[in-house]
A and B are shown apart, each in its own frame.
Chain A
Amino acid sequence: MVDSIFRDYRGSNAERSDRSAGDRLRHRQKVRESIRTNIADIIAEESIIGKDKDKIIKVPLRGIKEYRFVYGDNTPGVGQGEGDTEAGQVIGKVGTEGTAGDRAGDRPGVDYYETDVTLEELIDIMFEDLELPDLERKALREIQSERSSKPKGHRRVGIRARLDKRRTAKQRIMRKLATRHAALEELEPDEEEPRFPFHTDDLRYRHVEPKMRRESNAVVICIMDTSGSMDTMKKYLARSFFFLLYQFITTRYRNVEIVFIAHHTEAKEVGEEEFFHKGESGGTFISSGYAKALEIIHERYHPSIWNVYAFHCSDGDNFDSDNPAALRAAQELAEVCNLFGYGEIKPLGSRYYESSMLSIFRRLSAPNFHTVLIERKEDIWPSFKTFLAKERLAEGAA
């Protein structure tokens, strides 16, 4: 008869049960790496724009598949039926798991090509990709505010309300014990021990330090041209850029507000939904959008308290008569903003025949004003990167 032994459960043996930790970590690093290298493609995907932070996104992964020589999809297989299978019956779809028959061997199986990440994680990775360490040190215009205080040690002086009675009593006892020997010697027999009153030296006060909080407020002002010439594709590109900007600012400031300004020949503040979806018609006065932005900034977001980021997307099709006014307004806006950008959206090719504001804005010489040209969705990420890189340059110069 064979021999057997039983080894009872050893739950506490963490080393054995968790030996895959290192390999799992390494795998996750690979996944992150893979996302990072494909970030531009992922960002270009429509689905992530404007979703909430906990939204889970399926991200296609390249580079962590385990390749081997395997047979392709045209491989016949064998399955088992329920007794009534007939030739010609359709049993499933090519490339779906489960129906394709168990190959009963070392077929690598369906490798998974995508992973789930939350939008927040993705944004983290995105900005990791930016690799802008300088930005962390950016002199954010922070306002210090004393919101709360925390206890920190004890002091001999202080206000009555903070008297620490327990500690004070202790001090008195310590002092009493220290002086006791001398006191006893002086004491006549039968004499009662004298009173031993508190002394000012005994008093201990709780010390509190005000907690200084760096308050940082930022407002992102999205200005978009909603004139008739802005079609869905252009709006989508603009939207993607605004999304990135907003997410980026959110990672840097505690309190971020967002303002949407839509303009054609006149500007108004609108809600997000309206901003992206409502089409307008008519011509374009870019200056109207800037004037509205300035107005809102003066009313609600004073630059001494707020970090203002403004970005304007347009197809550059401005009425010529408005150009000088637009330039003046842009100059003014650049003065109150941390960063002011103009993105010209010209789907591929159209820039050769449509008018452009880029040449006009070239005359504007503010270090914190930048223009980018977006021709297709693959441009969004690179142009966003250069936009911020310029900011860094500007800071370096400042």
Chain B
Amino acid sequence: MKGYELKDLLAWDARIREAVAKAGLDCFDQEFELCDHYQMLGYMAYSGMPSHYPHWSYGKQYEKLKTLYDYGVSGLPYEMVINSNPAIAYLMRDNSLLLQILTIAHVYGHNDFFKNNFTFKATRAELTVELFKAHAIRVRKYIEDPSLGIDAVERLLDAAHALSFQRRRNLAIRKLGREEQIKQAMESAQPKPDQYRKIHRPVGFQPPDINKVPLEPEQDILLFIRDHNPYLAEWEKDLLTIVDEEARSFLPMIETKIMNEGWASYWHKRILDSMDLDQGLYLEFLVRHNQVVRPIPGQINPYHLGLKIWEDIYRRWTNPTAEEIEQYGAPDRTGEAKLFQVREVERDTSFIRRYLTPELARELDLFKFEPRGNDLVVSEVSDEDGFERVKETLLQNVGTNSIPVIKVEDADFGQNRTLYLRHYHDGRDLHLEYAEKTLGYVYSLWGRECALETVVRGRRILLIYNDRGFSTRTMK
């Protein structure tokens, strides 16, 4: 370590924790581990997990990160935190003292967010590390099993990885069991009470088809295949479960990237500001802080956007301008209280929808771009006309909204056990080469014909994958 020792870090950490407590942040206990850059690359490749099952894609990830790092294309993050209880963070030992201080404060921001944001409530933080370890043990067991071997396990994992995020995104909404779905379907099939029933033709009771599988379109594709393909072996089902569970535990991170990074940046700034750093450290702090949260022209830096929105919320609830009071009403609570409320009940989508104001968007100069020919062209800017469309586009690209929604509509399409999937098209077409290959993975898991309904350039088409390979059909 450069010019400081572990005991210096401990002393700074104690001061930071005091400031954290004073600020009212509510954290899990925290573990810090000092690592070198090789170890950091290793942690990054495996999403920070101390233990993780093996798969070649992580090797690829490692090589890619290392290449980018070696050629100076991208640096390494100053830290990496994982959502577990206690939270685990890795600090780079070659960083300067100030960077460590900044990072430690930043980590407590994340930690507070993990503990309090609603999206993380469904992940059991105290079990995260053990869960990943248990997965690793099981996968290794299958690989070492001479009757299975690495090739079979890899084939299944390749397919499962391709579909891992084709699952329900909002973990706070409980999934109904089959019985409940039937009940709901029966209820909604009942004729509505009609106060004009004397003059209306009576609507008879239309019994719903309760034998249909799935009753309601089903978004958890991996789990659906696990539960409805009777030819899968136990180990295959187990692997599908493992991949789904991992995707599930990363979901909150994806859903709150902007909020979470913004929150941690907001608090490391406030905490370090409150700590009376000496001048040298403070100047370095300003430089580093601005490097992290600087806007990147032509892109969205989640650190920058998040921080700006949080600062704007705090300002609007402590010191609103007259116009703002007129437009949005007087603040209903203090700035602090508002911050803590928002960090608990929002995710990126709702956060941006509710708190990105036209004024802020204009200040940040957010714009929408679209491909035209070979160029990316700015099509809307955040003026009065364009703001809503810029915001809608931003929302489409935030969190899991950047993943196409595809649901299982029918598991027995044409009485042929064809798996019928439908892409819920929202104006964005699928990448067809990827769709073809991924549908191939669905086919390999389902074992029978699979069909995917989607829209390409305004025309409904059906992508089909069966024992004769891939084909497409235009739909009426």
Contact = CB atoms under 8 A, between A and B. Distances in A.
Given A27-B56, A81-B365, A68 B33 contact: no
B176 interface: no
A343 to B, nearest CB: 36
B402 A30 contact: no
B42 interface: yes
B371 A74 contact: yes
Contacts of A65: 437
A71 B425 CA distance: 10
A98 B365 contact: no
Given A24-B63, A72-B431, A112-B64, A4 B298 contact: no
B378 A105 contact: no
Nearest to A4: B30
Interface residues of A: mostly helix, strand, loop or mixed? loop
B404 A78 contact: no
A90 interface: yes
A88 B378 contact: yes
B18 interface: yes
B299 to A, nearest CB: 4
B45 interface: yes
Contacts of A98: 298-299
B434 A70 contact: yes
A271 interface: no
A104 interface: yes
Nearest to B379: A87
B378 A87 contact: yes
A305 B447 CA distance: 62
A4 B17 contact: yes
A8 B254 contact: no
Contact of B367 (A3, A11, A81): A81
Interface stretch (A12-20, A51-59, A306-314): A12-20
Contacts of B21: 1-2
Contacts of A92: 298, 375-376
Interface in A1-59: 1-9, 11, 16-20, 22-30
B437 A67 contact: yes
A68 to B, nearest CB: 5
A101 B404 CA distance: 18
B416 interface: no
Given A1-B17, A67-B441, A77-B368, A101 B297 contact: no
Interface string A78-121: 11111111111111111000111111111100001000000000
Given A4-B17, A4-B32, A91-B369, A104 B56 contact: no
A85 B56 contact: no
A73 interface: yes
A142 B402 CA distance: 65
Contacts of B257: 104-105
Nearest to B452: A69
Contacts of A100: 376
A194 interface: no
A78 B352 CA distance: 13
A81 to B, nearest CB: 4
Nearest to B433: A67
A86 B378 contact: yes
A77 B367 CA distance: 8
Nearest to B456: A72
A80 B298 contact: yes
Nearest to B367: A85
Contact of A71 (B1, B18, B430): B430
Interface in B384-435: 386, 390, 393-394, 396-404, 406, 423, 428-432, 434-435
A69 B438 CA distance: 6
Given A20-B58, A26-B56, A94-B375, A104 B297 contact: no
B233 interface: no
Contacts of B390: 78
Contact of A20 (B59, B381, B428): B59
Contacts of A359: none
A87 B300 contact: no
Contact of A6 (B13, B429, B438): B13
Contacts, number: 287
A30 to B, nearest CB: 6
Interface stretch (B158-166, B185-193, B266-274): B158-166
B366 interface: yes
B402 A106 contact: yes
A68 B17 CA distance: 42
Nearest to A105: B402
A76 interface: yes
Contact of A102 (B29, B299, B371): B299
A321 interface: no
A89 B377 CA distance: 6
Interface in B241-259: 250, 254, 257-258
A105 B399 contact: yes
Q: Which of B36, B397, B435 has the most CB of A within 10 A?
A: B397
Given A6-B10, A82-B297, A104-B258, A68 B376 contact: no
A209 interface: no
A18 to B, nearest CB: 7
Contacts of B162: 66-68
B46 interface: yes
A17 B302 contact: no
B17 A80 contact: no
A66 B161 contact: yes
A75 interface: yes
A64 interface: yes
A24 B301 contact: no
B172 interface: no
B277 interface: no
Given A70-B404, A105-B257, A80 B161 contact: no
A77 B31 CA distance: 38
B379 A76 contact: yes
B35 interface: yes
Contacts of B302: 102, 104
Contacts of A105: 254, 257, 397-403
A18 B45 CA distance: 11
B129 interface: no
B29 A104 contact: no
Nearest to B10: A6
A33 to B, nearest CB: 11
A56 to B, nearest CB: 13
Nearest to B64: A112
B300 A101 contact: yes
6 contacts: A2-B21, A20-B41, A20-B59, A73-B371, A76-B371, A101-B298
The 7 closest A-B pairs by CB, nearest first: A23-B59, A27-B59, A24-B59, A67-B437, A81-B365, A72-B431, A26-B56
Given A65-B437, A104-B302, 8 more contacts: A6-B32, A7-B33, A20-B41, A23-B55, A24-B59, A70-B431, A87-B367, A102-B302
